[in-house]
C-alpha cells in the first residue's frame, strides 16, 4: 500500500523568505501523480502544483516549485518570496495512475510571519 | 460552474442519530471520494467510487455507508453517529485517465456528534 509522509507538522518563516516543505512517499509503482494541496483557514482545498512521475522536469507554478526525486521517493515543495497569504495547511498527495485512490499525508501547517 | 457541492456545511448530531451527507459534482468526473479530516491525521479516505454503481472501502470505512446514486452524486451515510465521528468531511471528484488529473474538493462539512 502506498503511504505519504510529511515529517514537518508545523513551520514558521518570515515574509519574503523561501521555505521548503518535505514529502516522501512509498510505492512500488512506476507511473503515478504527486500533488501539493493548500488548505487556508477557509478550509477550501486548493491544488498548488502537480507532478507526473514520468516527467523528469520539476513542475513550477509561479512562486511554487517542486524538487521531485523519483529514486529517493521525495517530493518537496519550495515556496519562494513567501507571502502572508501562503499561511495555510499544506498536504502532499499521491495517486497511482489507473487507480482511483488519492492518498494524503498528514499535512504541514505553515505560518508566514510579518 | 459549481464544481463539487456538498451539504450541509455544519451539523450537530446526538449520539445514535443518523444523517446523510450529500455531494454532487457537475464536471462529469467518473471518480468520487469521501474523506474525513482530523487534527494531526490529515485527510483519510473513507470510501471512494470509481464509477457509477461501484464503491470501495478506503482507510476508515467503519461506521459509514455510501451510495453512488448516479454519475453526479455520491452520498455518505452515518447510520448511528458516534462522538468518534466528529470531524470535517470532504467530498472530492476527479477524472481518471486525464493527463491533467487532479481532485476537486467540496467546501467541507463540519460534523459534531455530542
Model confidence pLDDT, tens digit, residues B21-48: 999 999 999 999 999 999 888 999 999 9
- How many Å is the Cα radius of gyration of chain B? 13
Q: Mean pLDDT across the stretch B74-92?
A: 97
CA-nearest residue to A104 within chain B is B43
- The distance of A34 to chain B (nearest Cα, Å) reads 9
- The distance of A80 to chain B (nearest Cα, Å) reads 23
Integer Cα distance of B76 and A86 in angstroms = 32
Give yes or no for A16 touching B (CB within 8 A). Answer: no
- Confidence category of residue A2, pLDDT binned at 50, 70, 90: confident
CA-nearest residue to B40 within chain A is A106
First to last CA, chain B: 36
**What are the E-state strand segments in chain A?**
3-5, 10-14, 19-21, 24-26, 32-39, 46-52, 60-61, 64-69, 74-79, 88-96, 102-104, 108-113
Integer Cα distance of B48 and B51 in angstroms = 9
Which grid cell is A32?
A: 503515478
Which residues, 6+ apart, have CB-to-CB distance to A105 below 8 Å? Answer: A4, A5, A6, A23, A91, A92, A93, B42
Highest mean pLDDT (candidates A5-19, B1-15, B39-53): A5-19
Integer Cα distance of A80 and B97 in angstroms = 32
Taking an 8 Å cut-off on Cβ atoms, the answer to whether A104 and B99 are in contact is: no
- Per-residue pLDDT for B98 more than 70? no
Q: At CB < 8 Å, which residues of chain B contact A?
A: 31, 33, 35, 40-45, 48-50, 56, 58, 88, 90, 92, 94, 96-97, 99-103, 105, 107-108
- Confidence category of residue B100, pLDDT binned at 50, 70, 90: low
Of B31, B49, B107, the CB nearest to A44: B107
Q: Mean pLDDT across the stretch B68-73?
A: 94
Given a contact cutoff of 8 angstroms between Cβ atoms, the answer to whether B47 and B64 are in contact is yes
CA-nearest residue to B54 within chain A is A100
Of B90, B96, B107, the CB nearest to A100: B96
What does the pLDDT read at residue B97? 59
Q: Which of B98, B84, B106, B114 is nearest to B3 (CA)?
A: B106
- Per-residue pLDDT for B20 more than 60? yes
Lowest mean pLDDT among A13-17, A73-77, A96-100, B103-107: A96-100
What angle is formed at CA A110 by the lines to CA A50 and CA A67, rounded to 5 degrees? 35
- The distance of B97 to chain A (nearest Cα, Å) reads 6
Taking an 8 Å cut-off on Cβ atoms, the answer to whether B96 and A47 are in contact is: no
Integer Cα distance of A101 and B52 in angstroms = 16
Residues in chain A closer than 8 A to B90 (CB atoms): 45
Amino acid at each position: 500500500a502506498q503511504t505519504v509522509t510529511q515529517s514537518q507538522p508545523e513551520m514558521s518563516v518570515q515574509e519574503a523568505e523561501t521555505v521548503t516543505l518535505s514529502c516522501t512517499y512509498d510505492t512500488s509503482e512506476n507511473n503515478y501523480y504527486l500533488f501539493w494541496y493548500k488548505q487556508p483557514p477557509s478550509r477550501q482545498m486548493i491544488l498548488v502544483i502537480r507532478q507526473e512521475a514520468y516527467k523528469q522536469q520539476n513542475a513550477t507554478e509561479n512562486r511554487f516549485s517542486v524538487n521531485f526525486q523519483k529514486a529517493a521517493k521525495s517530493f518537496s515543495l519550495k515556496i519562494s518570496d513567501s507571502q502572508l497569504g501562503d499561511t495555510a495547511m499544506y498536504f502532499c498527495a499521491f495517486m497511482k495512475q489507473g487507480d482511483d485512490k488519492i492518498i494524503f499525508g498528514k499535512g504541514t501547517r505553515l505560518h508566514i510571519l510579518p | 460552474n459549481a464544481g463539487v457541492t456538498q451539504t450541509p456545511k455544519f451539523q450537530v448530531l446526538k449520539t445514535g442519530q443518523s444523517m446523510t451527507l450529500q455531494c454532487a459534482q457537475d464536471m462529469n468526473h467518473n471518480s468520487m471520494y469521501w474523506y474525513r479530516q482530523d487534527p494531526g491525521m490529515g485527510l483519510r479516505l473513507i470510501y471512494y467510487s470509481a464509477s457509477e454503481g461501484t464503491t470501495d472501502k478506503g482507510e476508515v470505512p467503519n461506521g459509514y455507508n455510501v451510495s453512488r446514486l448516479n454519475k453526479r452524486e455520491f452520498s455518505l451515510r452515518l447510520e448511528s453517529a458516534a462522538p468518534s465521528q466528529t470531524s470535517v468531511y470532504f467530498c472530492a471528484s476527479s477524472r481518471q485517465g486525464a493527463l491533467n488529473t487532479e481532485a476537486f474538493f467540496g467546501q467541507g462539512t463540519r460534523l459534531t456528534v455530542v
